[in-house]
Structure 1
């Protein structure tokens, strides 16, 4: 159990005035705040700044430690938007949330360096890059310049795996190499297995069953499974009825060593994490 947990789990991040994250004490909850018209689960609901701010308050009250703000849907078949359009969507939300909730860590969900830079200047603290520093050649330099944590997600353009999990780990090691070459400190790198990205239904299930191989790399791991298609397909349920399925994947992820979970249903998953933590984070 956790009395033998790795020492690298104990990390503290001072991200700004009154903004602090501690790993190794409990599972951190990242709430999803999409300022997009076409996200698969909540597209169009939080395009208005006032509604987005209201939802931010709701998620923090429900237990969110981090708010992940994004301006481009990354659902299967999504259409890319320009940095200008992305910034038009996210900057007013970041500014409003930063002012109203100054103690809450904010993440910018983008693979574009220009968007990341402007978001960090506006008050974001973390970069969440679904392309693992490979989508924009300038992203690693931005992360290094600001010294912020960067979430490196697994992704690729095709599913031509020779052996799924070793290939995923190799891809992530490649991204880690990009981070190191740019001067990003190792303790600023977080990993994400990229559930739902360039993976089939069976690939996602297989990856979830072997998450301990990812957490063994020695980096904090974020798990993002919330309401994703493979859960919908497994349970044969609509997107609004996937809380229990998401909770099952979160519990499994925590058991495998994931320290941050990215979710839509903050209140329910916070309770799920509290129960798992009570078992797994014992002294």
Structure 2
């Protein structure tokens, strides 16, 4: 059984006690669940969730539980409202901005600090493209690309994550000051990665893809993409916890664009709230991705700002805690307006 929060409300004070629930301790309230079970769907008010049995009660408890903040050195990453993670690529072949900061750690650091100044709560630094068909980068070269930038950003006070599949890069990035590992393979591509993260005790972002050991862009063949991705992430969380990683330090990413069709991606974005049932913060990475072009007359990557902001706001509406974006200033501004509207609706 899977529970998808629905019937979101702007003014929870207008409802009787128990008629609405707060989503993951954040800024959204909802009145019902779409219950998915054995291929069937039905709507059940949150007040009646206890009638659905013990498993549903456990899912409900995880959905409404506040996500604890992460204290990472002198910085704190809170999850009670959406946080923007700025994308900083140190790659020559990224689908979006490849080569912009290649071989120039000073310029890259400056770009990262501009993102932080514009309101990014996290800077996600990567040294290898994971677009379809991208060439695998030797781990030493990848570490050489990212470590000087991470050192500078961390020394300047920025909170940094390392976007990598490779254990050696994780080790060197963490030693350089990165606080979080962001792995598109969910610690499956490199056999040493799980042990590195467990030993470091750092938070980790795990992303779904249908074939993480091979690169992440195979065919999914989903029966119900929401349920299939949820169940896969749940199994990975269980494996990480069994390996010694605290559940409160795991963040999940449904993997928009990785082994998913346009229809799969749209279903995932419309159903993002289901992933709160995993009991972990959620990251959404949809910025400038192919689905935006597919829905807007094949707009090139450079012309996908409007779609990227629309998807970020959709994520915020679903209670997503981390929004991974290229266009930080524009997304932060949109979220501030969204937050103002939410605050005003809440007071009536």
- Shorter-chain TM-score tier: over 0.9
CA deviation profile, 1:63-92 (whole Å, cap 9, x unmatched)? 111000000001121111111111011111
Q: Which TM-score applies when normalising by structure 2?
A: 0.77
Give the distance between the partners of 1:209 and 1:125, measured in 2 at CA.
31
Task: Tell me the equivalent position of 2:301.
Answer: 239
Task: Tell me the equivalent position of 1:76.
Answer: 132
Give the distance between the partners of 1:33 and 1:129, measured in 2 at CA.
15
Structure with bigger RCO (C-alpha 8 Å, 6+ apart): 1
Deviation at 1:275, TM superposition (A): 2.2
Whether contact under 8 Å (1:31, 1:263) holds in the other structure is: yes
CA deviation profile, 1:198-217 (whole Å, cap 9, x unmatched)? 11111111111111111232
RMSD: 1.6
Deviation at 1:6, TM superposition (A): 3.0
- The one of 146, 154, 159 equivalent to 1:105 is 159
Give the distance between the partners of 1:185 and 1:253, measured in 2 at CA.
25
- The one of 294, 304, 313 equivalent to 1:251 is 313
For structure 1, the 5+ residue unaligned runs are: none
Task: Tell me the equivalent position of 1:277.
Answer: 339
Give the distance between the partners of 2:232 and 2:67, measured in 1 at CA.
26
Whether contact under 8 Å (2:82, 2:319) holds in the other structure is: no
Whether contact under 8 Å (1:34, 1:46) holds in the other structure is: yes
- The one of 4, 8, 12 equivalent to 2:69 is 12
Whether contact under 8 Å (1:247, 1:269) holds in the other structure is: yes
Deviation at 1:10, TM superposition (A): 4.2
Give the distance between the partners of 2:193 and 2:236, measured in 1 at CA.
11
Task: Tell me the equivalent position of 1:44.
Answer: 99
Q: Which TM-score applies when normalising by structure 1?
A: 0.94
Task: Tell me the equivalent position of 2:169.
Answer: 115
- The one of 249, 264, 273 equivalent to 1:203 is 264
Task: Tell me the equivalent position of 1:132.
Answer: 186
Matched residue SS, 2:295: helix
Matched, 1:32 2:93: no
Whether contact under 8 Å (1:14, 1:21) holds in the other structure is: yes
Deviation at 1:182, TM superposition (A): 0.9
Please identify the structure whose Cα radius of gyration is greater.
2
CA deviation profile, 1:91-140 (whole Å, cap 9, x unmatched)? 111112122x22x2100000111111111011000000101122122222
Give the distance between the partners of 1:163 and 1:238, measured in 2 at CA.
30
What count of residue pairs does the alignment treat as equivalent?
A: 279
Change in 2 beyond 3 A, CA 1:118/1:176: same
Task: Tell me the equivalent position of 1:143.
Answer: 197
Task: Tell me the equivalent position of 2:149.
Answer: 93
Matched, 1:190 2:255: no
Deviation at 1:163, TM superposition (A): 2.3
Deviation at 1:220, TM superposition (A): 0.4
- The one of 110, 116, 123 equivalent to 1:60 is 116
Give the distance between the partners of 1:86 and 1:12, measured in 2 at CA.
30
